[in-house]
Structure 1
């Protein structure tokens, strides 16, 4: 992709991410075009329909969660990495729930974007679990972490920040060796 085309693509995705977070994924694409400072043709050249744009934003967001998880695995204290990882998952779900629902409504569960996201998150959860070894029960698996993270997201959906933090701490405490 040429440098100017890449800049336009990135600007469109960044603006769409902001607008989707503020107004939902049904925001008029004309508003994305206007805020991004590009023409409609530029938007549709990169994103032939709304679903393709939503998918691009979702990929960027999953990439950001993965990058954060990798940074935690590399830099966080082993005794803290689980709590920090689950906090990031809950934060992502809270911010991007509409994005995930929009994708699931428009794409079937076998779509490549979901298998890609699953693979990326599985890899990062492996890294997080490896970083926390010695501070988590030995029988805890990567799948356990992913399912617990999903469960925490659902459980904290309507919780106050204090309630959500308490649930996170309870789960992490239960993961620690006896």
Structure 2
């Protein structure tokens, strides 16, 4: 399932190339703005930064929640796809480390969308049922590959790693939150490598 390509305004018709480019720019801009400024950011500002008019935004996303739903789906899909790509291009432990660093950005976006995600949850949106398990499965694959390669300790469990990573979500907000979170990820990765069978990792 491709979580990133559902039309925000319904209808399901294939978008023209220019309309798709506009839509993609809106999603990318909204992701960045929500992560840095929160979900209450002006939709007019998002449209302006994406280089389109507010009418174009509303044609693709008739409400703030519709935009947020698509942004969230895209973020989940990106984390899923990153696991595959990183494992293809890096050693298993390096892939795991890089993926966990990307997880910080994912959490930043999710924190920025918190209130609207809560509204979607309370409205019984299928969003959470459809995306549930995607992140844990991606992390499980990464951890198991690193364990099998002897690059991290044998008793590493992906559920424990996800629990540790998820604690970043509840950390106090502040200008150094992202840097502090990245340091914590590096410390977590050092702990996973400690006692690994392979002495060169």
Q: TM-score, normalization: structure 2?
A: 0.69
Structure 2 counterparts to residues 17-166 of structure 1, below 5 A: 17-94=31-108, 96-99=110-113, 101-108=114-121, 111-133=125-147, 134-154=150-170, 164=181, 166=183
Q: How many angstroms apart in 2 are the aligned matches of 1:153 and 1:20?
A: 15
Q: How many angstroms apart in 1 are the aligned matches of 2:179 and 2:63?
A: 40
Q: What is the CA distance between 1:108 and its match in structure 2?
A: 1.6
Decide whether the 8 Å contact of 1:16 with 1:32 is kept in 2: yes
What is the CA RMSD across the aligned residues, in angstroms? 3.1
CA offsets per residue over residues 114-163 of structure 1, 9 Å max, x none? 23333321231132123212223334333233222212454586667775
Partner of 2:23: 9
Q: TM-score, normalization: structure 1?
A: 0.76
Q: What is the CA distance between 1:71 and its match in structure 2?
A: 2.1
Q: How many angstroms apart in 2 are the aligned matches of 1:111 and 1:66?
A: 21
Unaligned runs of 5+ in 1: none
Would you tell me which structure has more helix in proportion to its own residues? 1
Unaligned runs of 5+ in 2: 1-13, 196-201
Q: How many angstroms apart in 2 are the aligned matches of 1:44 and 1:127?
A: 38
How many corresponding residue pairs?
177
Q: How many angstroms apart in 1 are the aligned matches of 2:45 and 2:161?
A: 38
Q: How many angstroms apart in 1 are the aligned matches of 2:163 and 2:120?
A: 22
CA offsets per residue over residues 61-120 of structure 1, 9 Å max, x none? 222233323222222223333332322212432355212x13333222764322333332
- 1:11 is paired with a residue whose SS is helix
Decide whether the 8 Å contact of 2:83 with 2:142 is kept in 1: yes
